[in-house]
Every structure is written in C-alpha cells, then in structure tokens.
C-alpha cells in the first residue's frame, strides 16, 4: 500500500501541529481533499470529542463539525451542560474521503489504513490537550480508540478508564506532569449524523440519548 504513517513534530503546540498536518501525505486522502481539517477548540479544553472524518462542508471550510452534524452536536453539548470552552472537537481521520457521483461528493467510511496513517495526529492532540475525558462519536472512533469489537448500541454511555498516550511508557514523567489530570476517561456515544439519519418518529429519542451520554461526561468534569 502507498500508505505511511504521519510523523507529527513534538513540542510545537496545537498550532504547530495544525501547520504540520496541513501538508500531510501519509495516506492518499490528502491529494483529492480540499485541505486537512485539524481539530478545533481551546488548548485548555477538558473534553476531546472525536468524530470519524470531515464531511463535505468541513472539507470546504477547513473546520471540524461545522455542517449539519456539527450544529446538532453544538446543541447537544449545550443541553448536556458542557461549555464550548471545555470542548475540543476533532476527527479520527483528518481528510475527507469521498467518491464523486455527478456533481456530488459522496462520503466514504475511512479504512483501517487511513485510521492507522492518521492516528499519530490524534495522539499528538491528546498529548498537548491532556483531556480528562475523550468522547468517541460513533463506531469508527470507538472501534479505533477502544476496541475493534466495540458496539455503540450495547456499550455506549459508560465512562471507561483511559490511559493517555505516553503515560504507559513513562509513568514517572506522567506523575511529574502537574497539568495532567489524575483520572482520565473514555466514553463512546452515537454519532450526531446517526441522530440526523434516525427516522423522524424516533429522532427525538435518539437526540435525548446522545444528550444523556454527554451528561455523563459533564458529571465526570464536576
Ligand atoms: N462528521 C464527522 O465525523 N466529523 C466532522 O467533522 C463532521 C461530520
């Protein structure tokens, strides 16, 4: 395969990572996409929300979760009591993968090779952000970050103890890191796009379930 693996620079902060990711060609998705869509949010965010990959509008604007799914996510975060200043949003894969059908660009789920190639960017974001809670939005992020056998419908909404990247390798250094939270969690929930695709008669319930899972995240921050 022509896929490599991203090699983020160290010690450059989020803006340095964003600049470096702009030129990433670790996999073939960088060429047809308009631009890299890096994560967005304050460096002091306590929660990192991880989606699948940018959609059409994100690819055009360069910002994650600005399309319909992002609008729904913003509302759900507010309803769950998570403030925007506490939240950083990003994606497991940072380029839009699509096929062209006439004038339309049709979303294609990223493959394991794209997740693997892009993974170092996500880990580098975690290293800088030191989140207290990582939220997997949907099956792609949950399978990549928690377990390939993860089932959203069965296992959603639970706080799972999470060891941030680097902490296993250097426990002494992690202990010395005074900004690192002492307990860190991961939680998976449904993707906001899945709520939008839910048939009308059950959509309100699907939205409420997303808010309920995000309220579990909010309770971990209290
Ligand atoms: N869906 C995602 O998974 N990520 C985005 O940024 C937008 C839609």
Each residue of 169-213: pLDDT tens digit?
A: 555 555 567 778 889 999 999 999 999 999 999 999 999 999 999
What's residue 172's pLDDT? 59
What's residue 168's pLDDT? 66
**DSSP designation for 110:** P
Q: Which atom of ligand 1 is nearest to the CA of 137?
A: 3
Is any ligand 1 atom within 6 A of the Cβ of residue 150?
no
Give dist(CA 11, CA 34) in Å, integer. Answer: 27
Length of the chain: 222
Secondary structure (3-state) at 168: coil
Is the per-residue pLDDT at 89 higher than 90? yes
Is any ligand 1 atom within 6 A of the Cβ of residue 54?
yes
Choosing from 29, 70, 105 the residue with most ligand 1 atoms within 8 A of its CB, the one to mutate for a pocket test is: 70
Q: Are the C-beta atoms of 214 and 82 separated by less than 8 Å?
A: yes
**DSSP designation for 178:** T
> Per-residue confidence at 167, pLDDT binned at 50, 70, 90?
confident
Least confident range of 27-36, 140-149, 168-177, 179-188: 168-177
| pTM across the whole model | 0.95
What spacing in Å lies between the alpha carbon of 88 and ligand 1's midpoint? 13
Predicted ipTM of the assembly: 0.93
Give dist(CA 186, CA 163) in Å, integer. Answer: 9
CA distances from 164 to 122, 125, 139, 152, 196 (A): 11, 11, 20, 21, 31
Is any ligand 1 atom within 6 A of the Cβ of residue 90?
no
Q: Which atom of ligand 1 is nearest to the CA of 192?
A: 1
What's residue 191's pLDDT? 98
**DSSP designation for 167:** T
- CATH code given to domain 13-221: 3.40.470.10
What spacing in Å lies between the alpha carbon of 52 and ligand 1's midpoint? 6
**What integer is the mean pLDDT of 55-82?**
97
Which three-class secondary structure string do you get for 19-67? HHHHCCCCCHHHCCCCCCCCCECCCCCCEEEEECCCCHHHHHHCCCCCC
Burial class (CB in 10 A: 0-12, 13-18, 19+), 191: buried
Is any ligand 1 atom within 6 A of the Cβ of residue 39?
no
CA distances from 54 to 7, 79, 91, 167 (A): 20, 24, 7, 29
Is any ligand 1 atom within 6 A of the Cβ of residue 69?
yes
Strand order in the sheet with 133-137: 87-91, 47-51, 133-137, 185-189, 160-161
Give dist(CA 185, CA 18) in Å, integer. Answer: 25
Is any ligand 1 atom within 6 A of the Cβ of residue 59?
no
Is the per-residue pLDDT at 107 higher than 80? yes
Domain coordinates in residue numbering, the chain: 13-221
Q: Which atom of ligand 1 is nearest to the CA of 92?
A: 3
Percent residues over pLDDT 70 in the chain = 95
């Amino acid at each position: 395969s022509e896929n490599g693996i991203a090699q983020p620079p160290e010690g450059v902060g989020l803006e340095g990572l964003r600049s470096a990711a702009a030129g990433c060609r670790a996999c073939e998705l960088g060429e047809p996409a308009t631009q890299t869509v890096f994560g967005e949010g304050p460096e002091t965010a306590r929660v990192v929300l991880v989606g699948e990959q940018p959609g059409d509008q994100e690819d055009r604007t360069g910002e994650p979760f600005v399309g319909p799914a992002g609008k729904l996510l913003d509302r759900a975060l507010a309803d769950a009591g998570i403030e925007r200043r506490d939240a950083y949003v990003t994606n497991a894969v940072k380029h839009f993968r699509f096929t062209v059908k006439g004038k339309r660009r049709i979303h294609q789920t990223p493959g394991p090779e794209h997740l693997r190639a892009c993974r170092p960017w996500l880990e580098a974001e975690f290293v800088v952000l030191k989140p207290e809670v990582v939220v997997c939005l949907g099956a792609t992020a949950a399978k990549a970050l928690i377990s390939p056998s993860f089932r959203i419908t069965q296992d959603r909404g639970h706080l799972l103890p999470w060891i941030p990247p680097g902490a296993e390798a250097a426990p002494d250094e992690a202990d010395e890191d005074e900004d690192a939270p002492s307990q860190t969690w991961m939680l998976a929930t449904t993707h906001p796009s899945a709520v939008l695709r839910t048939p009308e008669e059950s959509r309100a319930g699907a939205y409420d379930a997303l808010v309920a899972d995000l309220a579990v995240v909010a309770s971990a921050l209290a």
